[in-house]
Structure 1
Amino acid sequence: MSIYSKIVGTGSYLPSNRVTNDELAQQLAKKGIETSDEWIVTRSGISARHYAAPGQLSSDLAVEASKGALEMAGLQASDIDLIILATSTPDHLGGFPSTACVVQRKLGITNGAPAMDVQAVCSGFVYAMSVADSFIKSGAHKKVLVIGTEVFSRILNFEDRTTCVLFGDGAGAVVMAASEEPGVLATKLHADGSHGHILCVPGSVDNGAISGNAYLYMDGPAVFKLAVSVLDKVAREALVAANLDAAEIDWLIPHQANIRIMQGTAKKLGLPLEKMVVTVGEHGNTSAASIPLALDLAVRDGRVKPGHTVMMEGVGGGFTWGAVLARM
């Protein structure tokens, strides 16, 4: 009998500090940086984002999202036998201990379940789901907690209006479990390190101090051009692997980076915009958290129902991209 992996619970969490474009514009004006709600919305579709409170870490957001996913799945934290966490903003410098291990401790999981971080920036959650799918199908694990969590506000240069207005903080999580019924139908992952320079944090740690620029850098036009191209291709690869047509997709849940990229992807796939879950307007770009945040919202408001086929895809620094096609 074949073993499949299936999403059995979703959860999400947004910090309480919601910042509108007008509020952000007022803050930036004090630094002599000019922007406006119209300028931001026209270029990105973003109207607001959430920022973590001082001292609030990626693990704190992840724990809250995980609790929601566990509750929906009807599981206790101790039932989890693997944690995979995607983040570009780990709790600790150098990424260790891993934020996944910190979450394990904060959830009170003491069963020795392995826990690890995955770093693929905005594609991180798709990468993490693909890894979880492989572990479950191999029979190695049965109940996996997959998390995307970010506090991108900590790496933004608030004197660069081309980037600081785009990103926000948040976390999303899913519980994936072994199932006799098909859940994840196909996954496809890619990377091309030759494009790493167009979206990165170029600084490094040298002798205990930051060397170089520790803020996020993005070549917006280059990222836009590459993103639309690879998202279309990887979605089609996943469809071919699952022997499905684009018309059979019930919901497209792309990485929530820019409404124009998202609309361009839907158009290339021949999908009506009504079939795309959009949260970028309220969340901004939450990197690895954006897809699970959007998925949880759509599950809880009743749009995504059991039996629906969902295409999740992301693209991020590295350069990385990937897709997961799943039946809910």
Structure 2
Amino acid sequence: MNIKITGTGSYIPKGIEKNEDFYSHEFLNADGSTINHPNEVIVEKFKAITGISERRYADKQLTSSDLGFLAAQKAIEDAKIDPETIDYIICAHNFGDVKSDTIQTDVLPCLASRVKHSLRIKNPKCVAYDILFGCPGWVEGVIQAQAFIKAGMAKRCLVIGSETLSRVVDKHDRDSMIYSDGAGATIVEATDEEGGILAHNTASFTFDEAYYLFFGKSNNQDLEKDTRYIKMHGRKIYEFALNNVPLAMKECLDSSGVDIKDVKKILIHQANEKMDEAIIKRFYRLYKTPEPEGVMPMSIHKLGNSSVATVPTLFDLIRNNKLENQHIEKGDVIIFASVGGGMHINAIVYKY
């Protein structure tokens, strides 16, 4: 028995927020002081570091669970399965359903229950629950699905990553330009087909690193003091990722028995193009092997950082030949990897 992803789907919001749209924002330092650079300079420097020129924002009437439902529908259709046969629905997110123009998150009921309700699944034995694991949430959801299947507790799982980060950002913080909305979904199931999950690796670094990503007040000191927004210590995250993600990926690949030269694609969580490029370079340097051209597909330029949705959306785009000059074929070895709030790191070696 092998455990494979048999269907994928994604929902990419229609709303496009371009870098130029931030020219009119009032960006401030963390202490509320004025930044002594025009916004055009701030935005251009941001693009040079992150690679982001556009990001997607969800329509006002849609919430994160709605995006997850829309992606799940596509994954179910792609896998050609009866949704009543799904044993687990695992929904990765970080902030629940945040309605547009509000400040309160809603996680009652959990988002997985909402998705199951929207899918009109009657089977009570289809267990629906959420996972809060930072940006690596979808990858961890797939790892949990595999564990359920290997333990004989399930045959088929739906794993979703969905987020509307645009609704929890501080518009006075330059880092707000990174975040976007979206959803990706996958069907993970037992199959007699060759391939599937070959190895996985997860680690949580919390001793000094737990609060590298956190909820904090706005840079605008005049706003409500009790309202919190997503914040990060960017330099610390950058250094943490460079020092730890390549090692976690190597540990995972080594345990899979796959040679580094047989890795065709690395689908890594994307929050910063320069950081991801440095991670991949360090990863291949650990094997004293040159980095193959095109090994790391990128979607960040147009889609931004949609947290848990980034990796499954990227996988879905490549599977459906919707990413220029990127494709995968049967038998190709892929590494899924992510790093994010917690601080968590995980990776999966997967044979397509």
TM-score over 0.5 (shorter chain)? yes
Assess if the C-alpha contact under 8 Å between 1:40 and 1:47 holds in 2.
no
Determine which of 268, 275, 290 is the counterpart of 2:282. Answer: 268
2:342 counterpart of 1:304: no
Assess if the C-alpha contact under 8 Å between 2:97 and 2:106 holds in 1.
no
C-alpha distance in structure 2 between counterparts of 1:173 and 1:133, whole Å: 15
2:64 counterpart of 1:64: no
C-alpha distance in structure 2 between counterparts of 1:153 and 1:273, whole Å: 33
> Residue 77 of structure 1: CA displacement?
2.1
How do 1:65-214 residues align onto structure 2 when only pairs under 5 Å count? 65-91=71-97, 93=105, 95-112=107-124, 113-161=126-174, 163-180=175-192, 181-194=194-207, 195-202=209-216, 212-214=226-228
C-alpha distance in structure 2 between counterparts of 1:78 and 1:28, whole Å: 49
Assess if the C-alpha contact under 8 Å between 1:263 and 1:273 holds in 2.
no
Q: What 5-or-longer segments of structure 2 have no aligned partner?
A: 28-33, 99-104, 218-223, 285-290
Assess if the C-alpha contact under 8 Å between 2:214 and 2:231 holds in 1.
yes
CA RMSD, 1 decimal = 2.1
Assess if the C-alpha contact under 8 Å between 2:25 and 2:171 holds in 1.
no
AA in 2 matched with 1:146: V
2:58 counterpart of 1:44: no
C-alpha distance in structure 2 between counterparts of 1:10 and 1:25, whole Å: 36
Assess if the C-alpha contact under 8 Å between 2:247 and 2:283 holds in 1.
no
Equivalent in the alignment of 1:288: 308
Per-residue CA shift, 1:70-92, capped at 9, x if unaligned? 11111132232210111002127
Richer in helix (by share):
1
Aligned pair count reads 319
> Residue 237 of structure 1: CA displacement?
1.0
Moved more, 171-180 or 72-81: 72-81
> Residue 28 of structure 1: CA displacement?
4.9
Assess if the C-alpha contact under 8 Å between 2:90 and 2:112 holds in 1.
yes
AA in 2 matched with 1:315: V
Assess if the C-alpha contact under 8 Å between 1:232 and 1:269 holds in 2.
yes
Assess if the C-alpha contact under 8 Å between 1:246 and 1:269 holds in 2.
no
> Residue 212 of structure 1: CA displacement?
4.3
> Residue 94 of structure 1: CA displacement?
6.3
Larger radius of gyration: 2
Identity of aligned residues (%): 30
> Residue 25 of structure 1: CA displacement?
2.5
TM-score by length of 1: 0.92
AA in 2 matched with 1:107: L
Per-residue CA shift, 1:242-289, capped at 9, x if unaligned? 011222111000001110111112112223241111001111111111
CA 1:202–1:190 in structure 2 vs 1: closer, same or farther (change >3 Å)?
farther
For 1:144, what is the secondary structure of its paired residue? strand
Q: What 5-or-longer segments of structure 1 have no aligned partner?
A: 204-209
C-alpha distance in structure 2 between counterparts of 1:10 and 1:128, whole Å: 14
Equivalent in the alignment of 1:219: 233
